[in-house]
Amino acid sequence: MAEKLGKIGRKSIWLFHFNASGCNGCDIEFAASVTSRYDLERFGIQLVPSPRHADVLVVTGAVNRLTRDSLKMIYDQIPEPKVVIALGSCACSGGIFNGCYNVAGGVDKVIPVDIYIPGCPPKPDAIVEALAKLAGILEKKKKNLKGEKNGSKKD
């Protein structure tokens, strides 16, 4: 998935966050992953205010009827080499709200999704690891950890 952004694109990833009717549990975990303790900026990852500047669209929450059109519009506004991350079980597959009448059940029913991060909500460490993997830095770090860590990490 990282090849999609290209060699340089992986070193500076600009995120744009969209809350498609989630319970904002994932949103506060995503916002926490930008603060000091998890600090996404060390990978060159920034939160940008406008979809025009963004590379990666992070969507949280099971898409409900009203936010579906906005999600599609925001997706079209992002310039081309773009990656979509579905953050949290609701975004991956509608999670616990499957079956509710106003919920489309997952982001991939509306826009093509590249990376799924299940978890309700996924810990900021999981978000940091996913984005580090996207930035292609995780492999380099693991290589200089004196060989593979105990058994391949299930990722």
Partner 1 sequence: MIGIDVLFTSLVFPGLLFSVAMAFWFQYLERKIVARIQRRIGPLYTGPHGLFQPLYDFLKMLFKEEIIPENTDKLYYRIAPVLAVVIPIYGMALIPIICYKCALNFEGDFLFTLFLFSLSVFTTAIAGYAVYSPYSSVGVGRLIVQYSIYESFLALSLAIAALQTSIIDFSGLLQYQTIHGPLVFYQPIGFVVAIIALIAKLEKPPFDLPHAKQEIVAGWMTEYSGRGLAFLKLSKDLSMVWGISLISTVYLGGPLGPLFPEAGPVGLLWFAIKCLAISLVIIFVRAVSGRTRVYGLAERLWARVIPLVVLQFIIAVLVRWYM
Partner 2 sequence: MSKGRGGLGLVVEAIRSLFEKPVTRDYPASEEVVETIRGMPVLHSEKCVGCGLCERSCPSGAITMVVVGKRKIGNKEVPLRNPRFDYFRCIYCGICSEVCPRGAIEMVKKFGLIYTSKGGEK
Partner 3 sequence: MGARKIEEYLEVEAQDIPSKVSEITSKGYQHLVTITGLDEGENIGLIYHFSKPSGETIHIKTSVKKHGSLPSIVDVIRGAYIYEMEVHDMFGIIFDNNQWMKYKLLLPDCYPLDEPPPLWKEADPDKIRKKLYEATSAACTLTEPISGTSMFSPESVVVPFGPYHPALKEPEHFRLVVEGERIVQAIPRIGFVHRGIEKAAERRSFLRDIFLLERICGICSMHHSWTFVEAVEKLLGLEIDKRAVYIRTLVAELERIHSHSLWLGLVGYWMGFETMFMWVWSIRENIMDLLELIAGNRVHKSIVTIGGVRRDVSDEKLGRIKEKVASFEKRFTEVMDDILTLDEFIARTSGIGKYNLDTARKLCVVGPPRRAVGDGYDIRKIEPYGAYEEVDYSVITDMGGDVYSLVKVRMLEILESTRIIQQIIEKMPSGNPVPKRAFMGTVPKGEAYARTEAPRGELFYYVSADNKHNPSRVKVRTPTLANITLAAEALKGQTLSDVPLVITMIDPCFSCMDRVLVIDRSSKSSRVLDERYFRRIRRKGGIR
**How far apart are the C-alpha atoms of 149 and 155, rounded to whole Å?**
13
H-helix segments, 78-123: 88-93
69 binds, among partner 3, partner 1, partner 2, none (CB under 5 to 8 A by kind): partner 3
**How far apart are the C-alpha atoms of 40 and 132, rounded to whole Å?**
9
Residue number with CB closer to partner 1 (36 or 152): 36
Of residues 20 through 49, those in contact with partner 1 by CB under 8 A are 35-37, 39, 41-44, 48-49
Shortest distance in whole angstroms from residue 72 CB to partner 3: 8
Q: Would you tell me which residues interact with partner 2 (CB under 8 A)?
A: 1, 36-39, 42, 89, 92-96, 98-99, 106, 108, 114-120, 122-123, 125-126, 128-130, 132-133, 138, 141-142, 153-155
Tokens (6 digits) for 94: 């509608």
Residue number with CB closer to partner 3 (2 or 97): 97
Stretch that binds partner 3, among 5-13, 98-106, 136-144, 147-155 (CB under 8 A): 98-106
* C-alpha distance from residue 100 to each of 54, 67, 85, 113, 115 (Å): 32, 15, 23, 22, 24
H-helix segments, the chain: 6-9, 25-32, 65-77, 88-93, 124-134, 138-143
Asked if 98 interacts with partner 1 (CB under 8 A), we say no
Asked whether 67 and 32 are in contact (CB, 8 A), the reply is no
Asked if 144 interacts with partner 1 (CB under 8 A), we say no
Asked if 67 interacts with partner 3 (CB under 8 A), we say yes
**How far apart are the C-alpha atoms of 85 and 2, rounded to whole Å?**
12
List residues binding partner 3 (CB under 8 A): 17-19, 21-29, 31-32, 34-37, 47, 49, 51, 61-62, 64-70, 73-74, 95-97, 99-104, 120-121, 123
